[in-house]
Amino acid sequence: MTTIAFVRHGITDWNIKKRAQGHSNNPLNEIGRRQARSVAKRLSDEKWDVIVSSDLLRARETAEIISSYIGKPITFDKRLREIGLGEIQGTTEEERIQKWGKIWRQLDLGVETDQSLGERGIAFVEAMARKYPGKRIIAVSHGIIIGQTLKELFQSDTRDNNLNNTSVTIITKSKGAWRYLLYNCTCHLKTELINEQ
């Protein structure tokens, strides 16, 4: 039974400002580092065989913190990168409206398509199942790519795929089919808040 735990990276200043990150190399902020330590502690309570991460800085930092708790090396995979945002990368919604008007979503601004994103995500999932059959894999990535991958994998699923920072979503493959074990779980962050009070 192959298991993949998708972990969204910790929060960044651009997340807080609602600035489109795309392929930018933004670091975690201090809250994001605390979130990453919390999810790392949580994951260290279980056995994991492999850590794979997006090579973008915010995911890489999250994966490095997880690796320091779990003791497994990290492999980087560009298929786990966030959606490519073309000309809108680095902008807020307000800035996009100022520059291109309210119809900016209808313009060709070089944003990666949902189809391309879904294909990239599914290619990653299938490659992991082939390369690490029966293993438990942590995949550190980004909200939109994880969400689109899940949407593609579970076609009839109606979840909104709005994943929280450092959320854990676990899928498993048995008898040739993928299913959810856990979705968008951030219980480790609640524990952190209780411990800080």
For residues 137 and 176, the model is more confident at 137
pLDDT at residue 125 greater than cutoff 80: yes
142 is catalytic: no
Q: Which CATH fold would you assign to the domain 2-196? A: Rossmann fold (3.40.50)
pLDDT-derived band at 192, boundaries 50, 70, 90: low
Residue 197 banded pLDDT, cuts 50, 70, 90: very low
Rounded to two decimals, the pTM is 0.94
Q: In 3D, which of 14, 24, 25, 22 has the Cα closest to residue 112? A: 22
Q: What is the mean pLDDT of the chain?
A: 94
Q: What single-letter amino acid sits at 155?
A: Q
Active site residue 64: no
User: Is the pLDDT at 194 greater than 70, yes or no?
Assistant: no
Q: Is the pLDDT of residue 78 over 70?
A: yes
Residue 142 assigned to a binding site: no
Does the annotation flag 11 for ligand binding?
A: yes
Q: Which of 23, 46, 82, 126 is catalytic?
A: 82
165 is in an annotated binding site: no
Sequence-ordered strand ranges (E) for 105-176: 136-141, 168-174
Q: Is position 34 annotated in a ligand binding site?
A: no
Higher-confidence residue of 181 and 159: namely 181
Choosing from 9, 61, 112, 142, the catalytic residue is 9
Domain residue limits, the chain: 2-196
